[in-house]
Amino acid sequence: MDADDAGGGAGYGYFDHDADVGIVGRGPDLETAFVSAAKAMFALSTDIKTVRDKQRFEIQFEEEDIEIALVRWLNLLLAHAGDRHLALGRFSLRRDGAQWRGEAWGEPWRDGLERGTELKGATLTMLRVARADGGWEARCVVDV
């Protein structure tokens, strides 16, 4: 199943996993692939196109290993969204060496936002971040 949502090689999709869900984020650069992975993950919980940009928060972390950075990015987003009871639909990320700065936009859960799969966390299972098809691909399994 593929759910590409943007042109220019960016987008997201899924891969089969026995118990959980494998997510794939793609983009022309590493940051776009990570943003696409976040979209893939949060699209499991609701239709991200219907989520309004009512609240914004920032995430900052330090990580040199790009694969571990993917898992940290996704889990920090999940933690902040859970703490604030938010559905998230839009993301941005910048990297300067080992320093990562991201933003996420969303809104409190409301009537009209259909709740899909409950997200528990991004895992190290099948974790891979690598160049692919002239861009980047970021993938891991999400515990649901």
Whether residue 4 contacts residue 16, with contact meaning beta carbons closer than 8 Å, is answered with no
pLDDT band at 9; cut points 50, 70, 90: low
Contacts of 22 (CB under 8 A, 6+ apart): 14, 15, 16, 126, 139, 140, 141, 142
pLDDT in tens, 73-131: 999 999 999 999 999 999 999 999 999 999 999 999 999 999 999 999 999 999 999 99
pLDDT in tens, 13-58: 998 878 799 999 999 999 999 999 999 999 999 999 999 999 999 9
pLDDT in tens, 47-83: 999 999 999 999 999 999 999 999 999 999 999 999 9
- Domains for the chain: give ranges and CATH numbers: 12-143 (3.55.10.10)
Query: Residue 2: what pLDDT?
Result: 38
Q: What is the pTM of this model?
A: 0.91
Q: Is 23 helix (H, G, I), strand (E, B) or coil?
A: strand
